[in-house]
Structure 1
């Protein structure tokens, strides 16, 4: 009789334990339906469900090859946007439970709408499918795309006649470009190549394989230390200038309520990264340390003027002439000079 009672109590314990485990797992399965609907910010503490806090001894978060028992949203572990993680839970009865979840991280403050005034415009060759665009002094360096017409060109602002041209093989689709000292780096779209040229002669100096982490080549800029590239996702890839196939770090980009993907043409200026979003009429101002979008410039009016005949003629050119921004796009007939308020 005593033996049967022991077995009975053991069975009850197992049932209670299984029930608690199911509650814990179910609460984490639905984790995104509570606080996650609003998202977290860097510095926030994870608000775990009561079913977890009442029944566990310890909780850790696994990020694949990393694990943290600190439930603070720390940029050492989390990126902006969606973070795929696994909760590793030690229950009070000594069991270990694992549950996958998504933790969304957004900028704490809403993006500032940045006011501007168009003060001047310059002619631009409408045959150029602009992918990369930058200026030094009064000299524009431009990378133009499409297979069969891809090229790297150099011209004086106000002129549409290039002083220097490096044409690409017919199978190459050129993308973003960046000047580093006396060199120009140029991305390719799906060819998975990075070309390096002499800035003064356009002689090709070297060629690298694109970083494996990047799906495609889109935008490129230089922050004084690393190349920064986009691949059409929400990510910014910081690349080694001596070996662009090597990724130094990756950050994701998000605003106060949304994740921004399809990041395209880039420009680094005065401590911030400026990026346009493919097929959108605005340019983002991004904190390079966190990926937080701190501001947005809306160019709806000039974009609509330039995409009337072809929806692919999108905004896709950002450069800085002193404190003023230069803006153009794919097959646009103008470059606009903008004074930022």
Structure 2
């Protein structure tokens, strides 16, 4: 078991607040950047690491019963692969047609759904053998995909999440996502975990935790220190899955050599003091 704690904070968002936020007539640059109405910020603790193919240009990740399903990108090299989480052994792999740039994947029931980027099409496969059984069209570019109890949830890189009926594969609802400073764009890889949507915000090292009813961001997860362990030719964070057996979030990125099983650790929150004064508090 390889343990590591992440203590970074989302300085990019703080910088944005310095430019954009005016509070009570006082410029935010004159205050602690995290005292601008920011939501709670979580770091992480690495519980365990698992092997990951460093050649995989990860675009989507999902996990069930010891098996990881991964979608990779790049035109002419996009794949859908299933492999053993613990050994990294490939169980099955299919190559997409050269015209497609593979994107996010999710496992809903006994089917795997995979998106493509600019082609505006998705594919449905049988999970047991990755046999393609259906193709469907979407009216936007495909980025990330997950699902709740009844519907598929897709991102397209904008501030809007799209809900699809898993049978008709038609859009039934759009959900704008907003944080304290307004719309949150760049929504990418998605995972629905215990009643909330986790979305990595491309191209940052941050994950937004989203209320699926209101679309409001409820807190942030900063994975900067995890990303910084992968310098050089490795790419951005782009894989989020959930292991219910260990209650850990599985995290990887483009061309990373590991998948990390992490738990979230609160690093910053605001509280209301006697008299109604708000104050931010950092945690070690």
Same fold per TM (> 0.5)? yes
Q: Is the counterpart of residue 226 in structure 1 residue 185 in structure 2?
A: no
Greater RCO between the two (CA within 8 Å, min separation 6)? 2
Partner of 1:275: 199
TM-score, normalization by structure 2? 0.78
Identify which of 252, 265, 283 aligns with 2:176: 252
Identify which of 68, 80, 91 aligns with 1:140: 68
Q: Is the counterpart of residue 172 in structure 1 residue 100 in structure 2?
A: yes
Question: Structure 1 309/115 Cα, relative in aligned 2: closer, same or farther at 3 Å?
Answer: closer
Report deviation, 1:38. 7.0
Partner of 2:49: 121
Q: Deviations over 1:224-263 (max 9, x none)?
A: 111000011011000111122x211111112112421011
Partner of 1:52: none
Check conservation: 1:219, 1:265, Cα contact below 8 A. yes
Q: Is the counterpart of residue 264 in structure 1 residue 188 in structure 2?
A: yes
Check conservation: 2:69, 2:82, Cα contact below 8 A. yes
Report deviation, 1:37. 7.6
Where does structure 1 differ by over 6 angstroms across 4 or more consecutive aligned residues?
36-39
Q: Is the counterpart of residue 317 in structure 1 residue 239 in structure 2?
A: yes
Q: Is the counterpart of residue 158 in structure 1 residue 86 in structure 2?
A: yes
Residues of 1 paired with 2:215 and 2:186: CA distance?
A: 14
Residues of 2 paired with 1:172 and 1:232: CA distance?
A: 18
Residues of 2 paired with 1:167 and 1:260: CA distance?
A: 33
Report deviation, 1:309. 1.7
SS in 2 for 1:140: strand
Residues of 2 paired with 1:257 and 1:194: CA distance?
A: 33
Check conservation: 1:122, 1:335, Cα contact below 8 A. yes
- Structure with a larger share of its residues in helix: 1
Q: Any gaps of 5 or more consecutive residues in structure 1?
A: 1-35, 40-108
Partner of 2:252: 328
| Greater Rg by CA | 1
| Count, aligned residues | 232
Residues of 1 paired with 2:149 and 2:90: CA distance?
A: 27
Q: Any gaps of 5 or more consecutive residues in structure 2?
A: 1-19, 24-36, 266-284
Check conservation: 1:208, 1:243, Cα contact below 8 A. no
Identify which of 119, 144, 150 aligns with 1:191: 119
TM-score, normalization by structure 1? 0.65
Check conservation: 2:50, 2:88, Cα contact below 8 A. no
Residues of 2 paired with 1:135 and 1:148: CA distance?
A: 25
- Structure with a larger share of its residues in strand: 2
Q: Deviations over 1:142-168 (max 9, x none)?
A: 111111111110011122331011110
Check conservation: 2:106, 2:145, Cα contact below 8 A. yes
Check conservation: 1:110, 1:294, Cα contact below 8 A. no
